[in-house]
């Protein structure tokens, strides 16, 4: 596995072919809850969640935080992509209205997401662009060829030679973790996953033997329990200590800390990563522009 933080590149065309042994992961947004731009977060980035996974010709995108705007602007349009939404909290959707491939009739986009409260992924995607919250609707401006498909725990989605599976994790309103398997390599995307339930052991089994685990490590145990600041129990997020426990229990290759607290600056994230590396020396903290080849 190789990792190169903060590198960017623009392919010659939107669907430029890539030859990879396994999945190629690129981070476009790594921050949780709310964007946190500025010089204090420039190293790791301030955009909310969006992760690209390339599996040969297949472009798979996890979540539609503000980072997806950069993805769309970099690759241009038309674009073909399969987009998996973990859940519908705003920090995971707020970049969609500014994802420029959606305005091109040559783009082909399939949205995958769970049904929640009787609403489908289409219901939620369309509803989050409505007045008075947004000036134009999805029906008014989206020109891409769009399909919407439900996904639930246990589903197995075949995308070319890649397979995507899903698992419910603990989060207010529900949330899906995803695993991508391609050419004997696997990456698990498990953001917004609070610990402290029977889901912990299920997630460990779900991530068993993965080459890369992208895990919600928003808090420290002191922050989570209220020793440092107000308690965060029930807020739907995990700790770096739990990230280590999950990675060790699942026997994963590399642990990647994700969904960084918006109040945690670069220096604080460096310090946190240093603590994690005392237990897992090859652990990394997700940074915008970072590319990982499995």
CA-to-CA distance for 205 and 94, rounded, in angstroms?
Answer: 31
Return the pLDDT at 147. 96
Return the pLDDT at 3. 46
Return the pLDDT at 247. 98
Return the pLDDT at 262. 97
Return the pLDDT at 131. 85
The domains of the chain are located at 22-286
Please, what's the largest Cα pairwise distance for the chain? 53
Report whether 255 contacts 244 (CB < 8 A): yes
Return the pLDDT at 74. 96
Return the pLDDT at 6. 39
Return the pLDDT at 20. 53
Q: Cβ contacts of residue 219 below 8 Å, gap of 6+?
A: 232, 237, 238, 239, 240, 261
CA-to-CA distance for 161 and 148, rounded, in angstroms?
Answer: 21
CA-to-CA distance for 176 and 114, rounded, in angstroms?
Answer: 8
In angstroms, how far is CA 22 from the centroid of its own chain?
18
Query: Pick from 145, 88, 94, 155: which is nearest to 120 by CA?
Result: 88
Strand extents, DSSP E, the chain: 2-4, 24-29, 50-55, 58-62, 80-84, 108-113, 145-150, 156-159, 162-169, 175-182, 185-190, 212-216, 254-258, 284-285, 291-293
Query: Pick from 236, 247, 228, 240: which is nearest to 272 by CA?
Result: 240
In angstroms, how far is CA 164 from the centroid of its own chain?
14
Q: Which two tokens stand for residue 167?
A: 């698992």
Q: Which residue ranges of the chain lie beneath pLDDT 50?
A: 2-19
Q: Exposed, middle or buried by CB within 10 Å (0-12, 13-18, 19+), for 156?
A: exposed
Return the pLDDT at 15. 43
pTM of the model: 0.91
- Fold (topology level) of 22-286: Metallo-beta-lactamase; Chain A (3.60.15)
Return the pLDDT at 84. 98
Q: Cβ contacts of residue 19 below 8 Å, gap of 6+?
A: none
């Amino acid at each position: 596995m190789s990792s190169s933080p903060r590198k960017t590149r623009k392919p010659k065309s939107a669907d430029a072919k890539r030859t990879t042994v396994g999945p190629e992961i690129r981070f476009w947004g790594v921050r949780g809850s709310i964007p946190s731009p500025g010089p204090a977060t420039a190293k790791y980035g301030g955009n909310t969640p969006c992760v690209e996974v390339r599996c040969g010709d297949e472009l798979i995108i996890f979540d539609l935080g503000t980072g997806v705007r950069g993805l769309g602007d970099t690759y241009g349009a038309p674009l073909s992509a399969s987009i998996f939404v973990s859940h519908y909290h705003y920090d995971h959707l707020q970049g969609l209205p500014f994802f420029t491939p959606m305005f091109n009739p040559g783009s082909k986009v399939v949205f995958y997401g769970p049904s929640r409260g009787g609403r489908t992924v289409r219901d939620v995607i369309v509803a989050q662009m409505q007045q008075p919250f947004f000036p134009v609707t999805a029906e008014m401006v989206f020109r891409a060829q769009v399909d919407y498909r439900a996904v639930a725990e246990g589903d197995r989605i075949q995308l070319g030679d890649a397979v995507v599976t899903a698992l419910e994790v603990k989060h207010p309103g529900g949330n899906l973790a995803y695993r991508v398997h391609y050419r004997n390599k696997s990456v698990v995307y498990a953001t917004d996953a609070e610990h402290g339930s029977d889901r912990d052991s299920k997630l460990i089994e779900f991530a068993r033997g993965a080459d890369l685990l992208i895990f919600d490590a928003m808090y420290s145990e002191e922050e989570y329990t209220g020793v440092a600041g107000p308690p965060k129990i029930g807020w739907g997020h995990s700790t770096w200590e739990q990230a280590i426990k999950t990675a060790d229990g699942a026997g994963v290759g590399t642990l990647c800390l994700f969904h960084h607290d918006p109040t945690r600056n670069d220096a604080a994230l460096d310090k946190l990563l240093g603590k994690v590396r005392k237990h897992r020396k090859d652990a990394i903290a997700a940074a915008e522009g970072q590319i990982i080849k499995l």
